[in-house]
Structure 1
């Protein structure tokens, strides 16, 4: 005898209506993730034919979301938390079950997953390992094309052009930069800061690039503070009137350093950051920043994963989301 929705409802201890709406992917239904997963599991155990992936291809897939950050690091840099929020929301809408893996612990990824969404910077070796676990892979905040996998990234080039253009429109041409340096989570490969690449290129086009005004940190608030102190101490009166800084945490540290040295913002030094996380709006003074659509990056990663689950193609896709400048009080 064929399994019915009522059979699933009885075994899962939920209402018939709840079973029907969950199995039909009703995103407006407010139901806990544990309940949703229990219904999926019971449906599979009872071999409910309408639930089989051959007929509902792409729905109910189990997706591992691998973060290269620890949970503590994620709290320090809300950029990746925002991406994860977008992934989780979109997965709930399409009916994907999420398995969260922090700190790139590949040994914790279940072998029985239908796909992997990897958030952050990963080495070729790690990407190959992902592919061994599942052929369906989407990279977020990292260009996956060289490794022949789908990816979602932000437009660092245009964002950097916006920042430089804003400074120049304010008649500021002595522009410094505090950028980041990092490695993949297994420390096997160094990752260049694309913002530095585009900054140097754009400034050289205008014959304005001065390498002595560029300082390297590690994307942390403390690093932003340390590098700005170094700039103040080494440059003295030649401290540039503008700084482009690679992310919001570093910018927060830089602002603290300027305030401690009684250097007025933006009267003496203007600042533009990159990412525009929530901290940019609440720090004093409000931080002008290049906005990245982080939640939308996560959502688009899920759409690529859904496409992989439901269709077949023999080429990778790369989605590049646009950026815009949000002006606040660290610029004129």
Structure 2
């Protein structure tokens, strides 16, 4: 069993930093990459907090299956935040867990686990594969077609309605969309993001959908930059954009500035997720806040309830979101 000192030495950080990270101190100013490294080293070295050492024995053994790679977690820290919130909730409930990637499943651990928390988007084939190992699965931040599973999700339709209603209230009738699409290695299946789907529906109903203003790539800052640049270089672009996530919005900011335009005087931008850096870019980004801590807590509560009760009927929990208005949008009325 590792000590904080051993973890600090391996991670190359101070004892205080390790202690505060493992205790989920939100006031600590340290990068998500460093946090991730500390958590992974702690798990690898089987670190147990003093509180948990003194508490009752471990209640359950569960598996966390990541739907996103390490690179994707670092490019969009929203995914990382959800996983860390799940891990925090499990630790607080004194539940032991193991983390694995969806393309590197450990079948023995999945079969013997009391339950599985699957974080992110999974193809139908991947869902069926997980189902062969364990029937007590909670899908976190996704809603598979198979209704046998519990899930914790956000209503993207309400997210889109909040964003577009706000932009329209500022006088923006022509609105662009920059988003991404999830594809699965070695499979034909692709997952169309609900933000794009509801954006198209909303704008069609208003009679203002312009396909030239809709660009889709991957959910990364570089893709946000390239897609925004492509629209701006065309010379025909709207004065407002909804960008599918904050990481893409950061890339879009760069493209706008390189074009010699000013946010929000020339172009208004709204992101989604409210990652930690959204409030610190210039100007601070207006975005939709998705409470990742609440997602993690709810998913773990749902799994524990399912395990304890032996419930077979599935539950779907839809969590609320809120529009965080900062300085990246401007009225043109």
Runs of 5+ consecutive residues of structure 2 not aligned to the other structure:
2-22, 24-41
Match of 1:86 in 2: 85
Q: For 2:63 and 2:106, how far apart are their aligned partners in 1? A: 12
Match of 1:241 in 2: 239
Alignment of 1:137-216 (within 5 A): 137-144=137-144, 146-184=146-184, 187-216=187-216
May I ask how many residue pairs the two structures share in their alignment? 287
Change (3 A) 1:242 1:136: same
Alignment of 1:210-225 (within 5 A): 210-225=210-225
Which has more radius of gyration? 1
1:121-176 deviation digits (Å, cap 9, x = unpaired)? 11222222222222210001110353410011112111111111111111111101
Match of 1:305 in 2: 303
> Deviating runs (4+, > 3 A) in structure 1?
32-41, 184-188
Output the TM-score relative to the length of structure 2.
Answer: 0.80
Q: For 1:37 and 1:138, how far apart are their aligned partners in 2? A: 26
What SS does the corresponding residue of 1:274 show, helix, strand or coil? coil
Q: For 1:39 and 1:164, how far apart are their aligned partners in 2? A: 46
Match of 1:115 in 2: 115
Match of 1:317 in 2: 315
Output the TM-score relative to the length of structure 1.
Answer: 0.80
Q: For 1:186 and 1:60, how far apart are their aligned partners in 2? A: 38
* 1:121/1:183 contact within 8 Å kept: no
Change (3 A) 1:187 1:279: farther
Q: For 1:291 and 1:40, how far apart are their aligned partners in 2? A: 32
Match of 1:68 in 2: 67
Q: For 1:122 and 1:271, how far apart are their aligned partners in 2? A: 29
Q: Which moved more, 1:99-108 or 1:156-165?
A: 99-108
Runs of 5+ consecutive residues of structure 1 not aligned to the other structure:
1-11, 13-27, 44-49, 52-58
Q: For 1:102 and 1:202, how far apart are their aligned partners in 2? A: 36
Q: For 1:296 and 1:171, how far apart are their aligned partners in 2? A: 34
Query: How many angstroms does 1:40 deviate by?
Result: 9.9
1:197-250 deviation digits (Å, cap 9, x = unpaired)? 11111112222211121111111111110001100111x1x3100000101111
1:18-60 deviation digits (Å, cap 9, x = unpaired)? xxxxxxxxxx9xxx9846599999x9xxxxxx96xxxxxxx62
Match of 1:25 in 2: none
Q: For 1:272 and 1:229, how far apart are their aligned partners in 2? A: 17
